[in-house]
Amino acid sequence: MLKDGNLPVLQAEAQKLKGQEPHTYRTVHWGDRTQHFWWVNDIVYEWTKTGARQSQHVTLHYVHCDETWTDARAGPHDPVGVGLGAPLHAG
């Protein structure tokens, strides 16, 4: 799970590539929660360690989830929270 601000280059690349492939989004309803997922496959992330001569790389798959839910104490159409996530899976 990436928190906002971690690996900003990777997050920016995923945002840039978002929606370029067909069928890379899904909406799921779980009781009072709605989750909107989108993803980008096969992002090559490259870096060089300090003092190293060669760069290293890994291929990642980026998944993002926006989640909304309604508190039982609120009105039925009053979302009370939004959760963001960006888990990574090395491919």
Tokens standing for residue 34: 């709605």
Tell which residue, 69, 70, 66, has the closest CA to residue 84: 66
- Tokens standing for residue 48: 């060089």
2 pLDDT more than 50 = yes
Whether residue 27 contacts residue 35, with contact meaning beta carbons closer than 8 Å, is answered with yes
The confidence band for 39, taking pLDDT boundaries of 50, 70 and 90, is very high
Residue range 49-68: mean pLDDT, rounded: 89
Average pLDDT on 61-80 reads 73
Domain regions of the chain by residue span: 8-90
* pLDDT band at 68; cut points 50, 70, 90: confident
